[in-house]
């Protein structure tokens, strides 16, 4: 239990579970606690897989409430995952994805399994599985990679 409250992911999972059990108010309070204690917006409505982590406690991260994060996703500090303002929908991040510090992932897109998003990249289109994308806007710079090698 103590390990759960040391990270925003653990607290978010607890809040999500409580919301699934229809516990009133407490999930929202946990989301607000995460906002102020860890300086990130990681609401209880985000669907998060096991093993997902936020670098540096999620410092500066903003994750849209309808986003979906797969298993073993590593998200660096200062990452934005959300809507783009023009098209409805939010990103779906598949399993074993690494998202570098300061990256922006916006819109109704899918980031493929085992992909790597470089630091400060702006991703607004689907990312295939097993590639590295970087730049503004993000472009594929390497194919046939596994994000496991980027996560230490």
pLDDT at 2 over 50: no
> Taking the C-alpha atoms of 111, 112, 118 and 124 in order, what is their torsion angle to the nearest 10 degrees?
-30
The pLDDT of residue 6: 66
- Based on the number of CB atoms within 10 Å of its own CB, is 6 exposed (0-12), middle (13-18) or buried (19 or more)? exposed
* Domain that includes residue 107, residue range: 4-149
What integer is the mean pLDDT of 38-45? 91
Question: Cis peptide leading into 134, omega within 30 of 0?
Answer: no
Q: CATH no. for residue 90?
A: 2.160.10.10
59-87 pLDDT, tens per residue?
999 999 999 999 999 999 999 999 988 88
Q: How far apart are CA 16 and CA 48, in angstroms?
A: 9
**11-36 pLDDT per residue, tens:** 888 898 899 999 889 999 988 888 88
Q: In the chain, how many domains are there?
A: 1
Torsion angle (degrees, nearest 10) of CA 75, 16, 49, 51? 60
């Amino acid at each position: 239990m103590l390990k759960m409250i040391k990270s925003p992911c653990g607290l978010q999972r607890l809040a999500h579970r409580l919301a699934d059990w229809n516990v009133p108010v407490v999930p929202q309070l946990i989301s607000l606690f995460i906002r102020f204690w860890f300086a990130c917006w990681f609401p209880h409505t985000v669907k998060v897989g096991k093993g997902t982590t936020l670098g540096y406690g999620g410092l500066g991260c903003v994750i849209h409430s309808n986003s979906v994060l797969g298993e073993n996703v590593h998200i660096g500090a200062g990452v934005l995952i959300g809507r783009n303002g023009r098209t409805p929908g939010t990103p779906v991040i598949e399993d074993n994805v690494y998202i570098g510090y300061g990256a922006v992932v916006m819109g109704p897109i899918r980031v493929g399994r085992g992909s790597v998003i470089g630091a400060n990249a702006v991703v607004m289109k689907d990312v295939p599985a097993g590639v590295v994308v970087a730049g503004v806007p993000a472009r594929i710079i390497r194919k046939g990679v596994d994000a496991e090698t980027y996560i230490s």
